[in-house]
Amino acid sequence: MTAHRRIVLASSAAGAAIVALDGTVLTVVQPTLQRELGASLAQVQWTGTAYLVAVASLLVSAGRTGDRYGHQRVFGYGMLGFGVASAGIGLAPGVGWVIGLRVVQGVFGALLQPATLGMLRAAFPPDRLGMPIAVRTSVIGVAAAAGPLVGGALAAAVGWRAVFFLHVGPSLLFGVLALTVREPHRDRAAAVPFDLPGALLLALSLASLVQALVDLPGSAAGLVVSALAALAFVRHERRTAHPLLPPDVVGSAAIRGALGMLLAASAAFSGTLFVVTYFLQDTLGLGPFHSALRGLPLAAAMVLAAPATAVLLRRFGARRTAGAAMVVVALAVLALSAASGTVAVCAGFALLGAGFGTVMVAGTHVVVREADVASAGVAGGLKQTAVNVGPALGVAAGSALMAAGGREPALGTLAALALTGALTCLVLPGRTVASLTHPPVTADRTGVPARR
C-alpha cells in the first residue's frame, strides 16, 4: 500500500469514527447537560435533532461538492469545521448556543462524511475496496461501543463539556493533514454546473422528513412538506440538464438495491436498540452503564464481521453475502424480542452486530464500487443519507409500536422490516469474475443508460 493510500485510509477511518463517537456520547451526557444548563427536555432533545436535521439534509450536496472540488479538500474543511464547532459547544454558555453550534457541527459533518468514502473510491482500485471499507466499518464499531463508556466516564469525572473537547484534537490533526498532503490528480465533475435548485429541494425534503420522524406523532405537516418537496425534486431532476443525482448513480439497480437494504437495516438496527434499551432500563432496572456493558458483544461482533465480510464478498458476491446477513439481522431481532436474561440478551446483541456489520460493509462496497469515480461523492452522500434517515425511521417506528403493544410486537415488526430489506439484495451484484487480462467485472452488472 502506498503512503498516500495509507493516509487516505487513516483519514477515512478517523473521520467516520469521530462522527460515530459524537453520536453515541451525546446520548449519555444529555441528562447532565440538562441539569447544568437549566434546559428543558425539549431543548435537550433538540441538541440531537438539530444536528441530525442539518447533516441528513446536506449529505448528497456535500458529496457532489467533493466530486467537483476534490474529496480530500472537502474532507479537510469538514474536519476543521467539525473540530472548531465541537470546541465551541464545550465552551457554550447556554443551551441555545449548544443547539446552534450543533447545527454548525452538522453542516461540517455533512461535508466530511461522503468524503470519507469518496477518498477511498479515488485512491483504491475497485477490486481492492473491500478491505479498506471493512477497516472503516470496524473502526465505526469500536467508536460506537466506546462512546457510552467514554462519555459516561468523562461526564462523571470532568463534566459533559469534556465529551465535546474529545473530538477537537483528532479533527484538527486530520483536517490539517488532508489540506497539506498533495492529492493525486483525478478527473472531477468540475465542468458540470452545480444543481442548486435540486440541492435545495432535496435538503427541504430530507430535513422535513427527519424532523417529522423525530417529532412523531404530532408531525403530519412535516411529512406533507417532505412529500411535496420530494415530488418537486423528482420533477426538477427529470427536466434539468445537469441533475444533482447523475444518471450513472440513479440508473444503477445495484446502487438502488444497496441503498434500500442499508435503509432497512439501519432502521431495524436502531429501532431494536431503542426498544431493547428501554426494556433493560425500565423493565430490568439496569442503569445506563450496565446497559452499555451488555451491548459490548454487539460492537465486538461488528468489528470481527467487517474483515470477514471482505473475504465473503470475494468468494460469494454481494447478493448472497448481504442477503444472508439481512436474514441474520431479522433472526437477531426476533431473539432479542424473547430474551430476558443477560446471556440471552448478549447473544442476541452479538448476532445483531454480526449481521449488521456484514450488511454495512457489503452495502457500502456496492455503492462505492458501482459508482463512477466522478460520482463517488454523491453516491457516498446517498449512502450516508440512508444510514442517517434509517435510524430516525426505526426509532420512530419502535417508539410508536412499543407504546401501542409492547416489546414483542415492536421487535417483530422490525424483524419483518429487515426481511423486507433482504429482498432488495436480489439486484445486488453476484460473485466477481476474475480475469488475468481484464479488470474484474460482476457477472450480472446492470447497464447504465447514457442519459435520462
- The Cα 350–Cα 303 span in angstroms is 11
What pLDDT sits at residue 153?
A: 79
The kind and range of the H/E element at 441 are strand 441-442
**Which of 69, 108, 65 shows the shortest CA–CA distance to 86?**
108
**Which of 122, 143, 113 shows the shortest CA–CA distance to 12?**
113
Collapsing DSSP states into helix, strand and coil, what is residue 432?
A: strand
- The Cα 27–Cα 149 span in angstroms is 11
What pLDDT sits at residue 401?
A: 87
Confidence band, pLDDT 50/70/90 cuts, at residue 451: very low
316-347 per-position pLDDT tens digit: 999 999 999 999 999 999 999 988 888 999 99
256-291 per-position pLDDT tens digit: 999 999 999 999 998 898 888 888 877 787 776 777
- CB-based contacts of 158: which residues, under 8 Å, 6+ apart? none
292-309 per-position pLDDT tens digit: 788 889 888 988 998 899
Tell me the longest C-alpha to C-alpha distance in the chain: 67
- The Cα 350–Cα 344 span in angstroms is 10
What pLDDT sits at residue 192?
A: 67
Phi, psi of 442 (to 5 degrees): -95, 145
Least confident residue range of 1-5, 60-64, 120-124, 336-340:
1-5
- The Cα 361–Cα 348 span in angstroms is 20
- The Cα 131–Cα 311 span in angstroms is 8
Most confident of 32-36, 45-49, 261-265: 261-265
Phi, psi of 246 (to 5 degrees): -70, 155
Collapsing DSSP states into helix, strand and coil, what is residue 279?
A: helix
What pLDDT sits at residue 435?
A: 33
| 8 Å CB contact between 194 and 68 | yes
Inter-CA distances, 429 with 257, 445, 447, Å = 10, 6, 12
Tell whether the model's pLDDT for residue 41 goes beyond 80: no
- The Cα 131–Cα 306 span in angstroms is 8
What pLDDT sits at residue 191?
A: 60
**∠ CA 406-407-411, rounded to 5°:** 125
- CB-based contacts of 238: which residues, under 8 Å, 6+ apart? 452
**∠ CA 128-133-137, rounded to 5°:** 160
* Cell representation of residue 186: 483525478
Type of residue at 52: L
DSSP characters over 9-52: HHHHHHHHHHHHHHHHHHHHHHHHHHHHHT--HHHHHHHHHHHH
* Cell representation of residue 420: 423486507
* Cell representation of residue 40: 428543558
Question: In sequence order, what are the beta bridge partners of 227?
Answer: none
- CB-based contacts of 378: which residues, under 8 Å, 6+ apart? 60, 63, 64, 67, 114, 244, 245, 246, 249, 371
Distance of CA 117 to the CA centre of its chain: 11
pTM listed for this prediction? 0.85
